[in-house]
Structure 1
Amino acid sequence: VVRNEIKEFAGTKQLFNKGIKLIILDEADAMTSDAQFALRRIIEKYTKNARFCLVCNYVSKIIPALQSRCTRFRFAPLSRDQIEGRLTEVAEAEKCKTTQDGIDAILRLSGGDMRRVLNLLQSTAMSAEVVDETSVYLTSGAPLPADMDQILDWLMNHNFQTACEQITAMCTMKGYALADVLAELTSKIMCLENLDSVPLGMLLDGMSNVEHRLAFGPDEKIQIASLVGVFVRTREAISVS
């Protein structure tokens, strides 16, 4: 795409038109390094008649050679009020039946990203008659809050073998990714009022190691066992102290 379509579009000029072309590349951080280096050469070659706008979620995934040729603008996530108002407006215009817990679920899963809000609303409305909390979570593939409460209970109150077996069975049966479970689990343990800073730090440190290893694609069953081990060691440390 970079070497053909983008290069061809950027390199062509219209007769009697001195305007500058604007090329917008969304999700630019998903491009490979080779594609980004090819894009850099195109940007250098066609600066007279084209300008490039790169939209990305993670600027760290853009090669330094491209970053140095761009002016960076950072946009903060939208506020809840801004998203909820627009979400309600779109739902009414498209005649989507929504519930308040469904809207809250979309807001919670979107992380302030309006594109994700609209995509999640559209996907849920196409797969369910009513956009409620359960249908939103089932559509997104994120773990249900009730299931996360159960997982946290297994981690906090059951022995190593039982917790491993139950969590593995739930993730397998419901198709949960361990990375999604970790993200939801982090939010839940941060809200625990009876957890001191020392054990909280132990849990977060152990969970971050599990998440780091997951990024390299190891067996999830092994990482589930590692996650359970983090909680078991923390519980033992609390009991000793």
Structure 2
Amino acid sequence: MPENNSSSSDAKMWIEKYRPHELTDLLSHTEIISTIQRLIDGGKLPHLLLYGPPGTGKTSTVLAIAKKLFGNRLTQNVLELNASDDRGIDVIRNEIKDFASTKGLKFFTAQKDTTPDIKLIILDEADQMTKDAQAALRRTIEKYSKNVRFCLICNYVNKIIPALQSRCTRFRFSPLKKHEVVSRLEEICKEENVIYNQVGLDAIYRLSNGDMRKCVNILQSTFMSFGQITEDNVHMCTGNPLKEDIRLIINSLFNDSLADAYKKVMNIKTERGLALQDILRDIHPYVMKLNIPIAVRIYLLEKMSDIEYRLSLGTSESLQTMALISAFQIAKEPVSSKNEEAALKLLTSEA
């Protein structure tokens, strides 16, 4: 039996295996956590609205709150719905109202004599609820406030109607900071006996944009694919360009002719399986650092933003690749000029 438990633990996804279960285990957002902790201890927990980018700890925070309130009695006192699935007005009228109309089992805090008997309704992805469902929820929140506390979780708070926002205490979960994420990744690596280097963990954070869930997924995927965490392994596992590839592309864009640059960039894209959008993202820092006239830099950034916008609309990658190369071909002419005003005039006429 112990062997089966061990194998089950090994097969578990790391994002679930290392998900925080207590408020004290949560990463970052110390002010929010301490505020919620005081509200729970004082028996004054309000309706909550947690919003922010994915992977910043919103759902883990609510589940930790539920565990602190109810312990092992979660099934009797907690209703968890994903509003991206259960998002219609019928869910509000039937399932939520049926659950909210009855009192929960008694739970105990530091001030147990004044603590009400309440339940907890968790609505994840609440920004996916229809406007009619959100409107119906307004009255439900007010009518059953003695029995129930609502916890709404969303990515985009502007998609929640103002009437719901005003009924909840709002907390914004910002992207996690680098030192906090890297520290947690190091803990996971030591626990799982993963060979890693600091540059590899930095690459994971850079690709995740502060999303802890994405960080752990990249970490596990890279480890299972290559056995160790290095910058190149992380980039290859996620399909992102290597630094050497970006250097070759930049060098070709500035130094080769239109035909040669197109051939070389397309060969790199094909061999590495790269997306033009990822190439644009990695070229951007180089353009910002290059010692070129400010007018040329502005021109290139404007053209790159136009190409990225057109890619988001589903245009042809090969055509947009040629557009990128053409922008650098036009920009090459005034690079050697010392007169930035003349460069700007030339670029404006070419555009």
Q: Shorter-chain TM-score category? A: 0.7 to 0.9
Aligned residues, how many? 231
Counterpart position of 1:165: 263
Counterpart position of 1:53: 152
Deviation of the 1:2 alpha carbon: 1.9
Counterpart position of 2:110: none
Counterpart position of 2:108: none
Mark the CA change 1:223 to 1:81 in structure 2 (over 3 Å): closer, same or farther: same
Counterpart position of 2:138: 44
Deviation of the 1:187 alpha carbon: 1.6
* Separation of aligned partners in 2, 1:22 and 1:143: 44
Deviation of the 1:146 alpha carbon: 0.8
How does 1:197-208 map onto structure 2 within 5 Å? Answer: 197-208=294-305
* Separation of aligned partners in 1, 2:138 and 2:163: 12
Counterpart position of 1:230: 327
Identity of aligned residues (%): 29
Deviation string 1:179-200 (CA, Å, 9 cap, x unpaired) is: 11111111221122x1222111
Alignment partner of 2:219 out of 110, 118, 121: 121
Q: What SS does the corresponding residue of 1:229 show, helix, strand or coil? A: helix
With structure 2 as the length reference, what TM-score do the two structures score?
0.59
Deviation of the 1:16 alpha carbon: 3.8
Kindly report the root-mean-square deviation, in angstroms, between the aligned alpha carbons of the 2 structures: 2.5
Q: What SS does the corresponding residue of 1:76 show, helix, strand or coil? A: coil
Counterpart position of 2:96: 10
* Separation of aligned partners in 2, 1:191 and 1:233: 19
Deviation string 1:192-217 (CA, Å, 9 cap, x unpaired) is: 2x122211111100000001111100
Structure 2 counterpart of 1:10, which letter?
I
* Separation of aligned partners in 2, 1:207 and 1:164: 16
Deviation of the 1:222 alpha carbon: 0.4
Deviation of the 1:109 alpha carbon: 1.5
* Separation of aligned partners in 1, 2:248 and 2:162: 45
Q: Which has the larger radius of gyration?
A: 2
Q: What SS does the corresponding residue of 1:2 show, helix, strand or coil? A: coil
Structure 1 counterpart of 2:204, which letter?
I
Mark the CA change 1:67 to 1:103 in structure 2 (over 3 Å): closer, same or farther: farther
2:277–2:308 contact (8 Å) kept in structure 1:
yes
1:10–1:21 contact (8 Å) kept in structure 2:
no
Is 1:86 the counterpart of 2:184 in the alignment? yes
Deviation of the 1:24 alpha carbon: 4.1
Mark the CA change 1:128 to 1:23 in structure 2 (over 3 Å): closer, same or farther: same
1:199–1:234 contact (8 Å) kept in structure 2:
yes
Q: What SS does the corresponding residue of 2:99 show, helix, strand or coil? A: coil
1:36–1:66 contact (8 Å) kept in structure 2:
no
Structure 2 counterpart of 1:66, which letter?
I
Q: Structure 1: which 5+ residue stretches go unaligned?
A: none
Counterpart position of 2:161: 66
* Separation of aligned partners in 2, 1:112 and 1:126: 22
Deviation of the 1:117 alpha carbon: 1.4
Q: What SS does the corresponding residue of 1:208 show, helix, strand or coil? A: helix
Q: What SS does the corresponding residue of 1:171 show, helix, strand or coil? A: helix
* Separation of aligned partners in 2, 1:227 and 1:2: 44
Which stretch of structure 1 is more off in the superposition, 210-219 or 12-21? 12-21
* Separation of aligned partners in 2, 1:226 and 1:81: 38
* Separation of aligned partners in 1, 2:286 and 2:172: 29
Mark the CA change 1:67 to 1:170 in structure 2 (over 3 Å): closer, same or farther: farther
With structure 1 as the length reference, what TM-score do the two structures score?
0.84
Counterpart position of 2:124: 25
Deviation of the 1:37 alpha carbon: 2.8
Structure 1 counterpart of 2:327, which letter?
V
Deviation of the 1:96 alpha carbon: 1.4
